[in-house]
Structure formats: structure tokens, C-alpha cells
Amino acid sequence: MKIIKSLVYTLACSSALVAGTHWGYTGHEGPQHWGDLSPKFGMCKQGKSQSPINISKEVTVATEGLKEIKFNYTTRATEIINNGHTIQINVKDGSSIEIDGKTFDLKQFHFHTPSENQIESKNFPLEAHFVHADKDGTLAVVALMYEDGEDNKVLKKLWSRMPHKAGESNRCIMPAEMFATMMPKDKAYYRFNGSLTTPPCSEGVRWMVLKNYSHVSKAQTEEFLHLFHHANNRPVQPINARKVMK
């Protein structure tokens, strides 16, 4: 399923997806109500391949043909945005991943606390989503979990630049070399078909959740959480007939 190109730049929760329709993570605009807020959000309650999910032994299958993700992150980050739902870092054109014989260009990455996806029913304090799109607008997301540990130097740089008011942005000159330090050396992953984790919850998204983690200090997680005053994660969704490849 192809996702229209306009979704590429707004996966990280911009309410501009549907003009005039407000959504959030708490109260009457929270995830359990998204499907009722607008007809355009119908997939949030009707979809059968929704994200995030709990990756458990019961749903994973070993797949010999699961090829490695070829990362080609060569360009810098240019802008950091507070869109009212998350902190999003936009990336200059030229970085990409290759999977399934296709090239997916890196558009942006953003964060959720606690993690949206779970592994064996465990939530992590922070999860990053690296959002890519091919030439037709089809999306591929690489998810990186963060576990409790020492201060993360890359996050320290990003957090120092993140705007504290919704709708604001700052310049964020993050060199391509820094992207390599964000990722674990072993990039083994789980793979499944899913959706956007924010309205309109469109399906047809390739999800790749890395099996190895980075680290974040509790103080850094709390700083991010304090920015929005509440968690910004969608609860896990039914797996239905899907299997997770590993």
C-alpha cells in the first residue's frame, strides 16, 4: 500500500495532517478516541495492521531471507522542531537506507517516551523513529530503543536545541558522522508490516525494530517528558494475523 508523500513529513504527529482536527495523548483527544475524531482517522480503529505492537516469542518467526539494512547516512540534520506532540529533527536530502532492493530516503527522526513498541511486553524509557520514504512515498521506519544508563551525548546536544514551545523550531547542525554514533554496531532487527502510530494511522508501513539498544539517562528522559507534561506513546495494538520476522 502506498502512502501519499505528504505523510512523509508529518509522521511525527503534525496536526496539519487533517486541518482543524486536534488530537493528543490524553483525555477526549487521546489514542482510544482517535478513530472517532475525524472520518479521516477511521483507520485508527478499523485497521488490522496497526502500530505499535508487542514483539513477543509467540509472534516472531525465524526468516533465513531477512537481509541486513544497508544504511547510507551521509547528510546532516538541519532543523529541530517542537510540533506539540514530539521533537522532530529534519535531515538534509541525501541520506538513505536500502531494503527489499529499494532505496528509502531518510526524511526525519523523532522520539516517544515511553517506547511505543514493546519487546516481550517491556516498555523502554525512550524510542526513536527514523522515518524514510521511497520515490513513491511508501514509508519505512527504523525504530531504536533506549534503555536506562548514562547521559547520552547525542541526545544532550539535541535536547540543548529543542524548542520548548509548540510550533517553534531551531537550527540543528548535526553532522552525518553523529548519526553513526546513534546506532548500535549490530543492526539486527525485527520486521513487521504496520502503520503510522499517529493519526491518520495509515497502514502499509515497513517497520524495522532494532534488537540492540542505545542508552539514555533518567534525567534526559524526564527532561523530554517535562517538555510535553505527559507521555507521547500510542498503546500497543492487536497483532491479529501478522507475524514478526527475525
Q: State how far the Cα of 133 lies from the Cα of 177, in Å rounded to an integer.
A: 21
Q: State how far the Cα of 1 lies from the Cα of 137, in Å rounded to an integer.
A: 10
The string of DSSP letters for 119-163 reads ETTBPPSEEEEEEEE-TT--EEEEEEEEEE-SPPHHHHHHHHH--
Length of the chain: 246
Tell me whether residue 85 is one of the annotated catalytic residues. Answer: yes
The active-site residue out of 33, 85, 112, 215 is 85
- DSSP character at residue 235: P
Catalytic residues: 85
